[in-house]
Amino acid sequence: MNHLVQDTLFGPDSDEDLEFSYADLLPAASKIMDMGANYLAKSGKKFDDDSMIGWRGEVLADTNTLAQQVIKLGAQINRILRNPREHMARKAQAQRDASALEATQ
């Protein structure tokens, strides 16, 4: 069943190891990215407003930075869901590296 979902979503040559149990979460991860992008599109129009100078412009710039982070986090969630085994392998390696570093100090 897992391969059927993977082949349907990504094609038979996909190297992603999407688990069937995560497939329904991918649209939600995409929506996270979409919402960040929608916010950036709308707030970009505000920068043209003459009242968005000084602290108002700074507030808008700060919220844009947060929206960019939301997009990046949504992409990261998407990547983890699509490649959970790779994620777990990287996580385990990072833990081993941290332990090795700690042992040398």
**Mind listing the pLDDT tens digit for each residue in 60-94?**
999 999 999 999 999 999 999 999 999 999 999 99
pLDDT of 11-32, one tens digit each? 544 546 778 888 899 999 999 9
**Hey, where are the domains in the chain?**
25-104
HEC per residue, 33-86: HHHHHHHHHHHHHHCCCCCCCCHHHHHHHHHHHHHHHHHHHHHHHHHHHHCHHH
Q: Is the pTM of this model over 0.75?
A: no
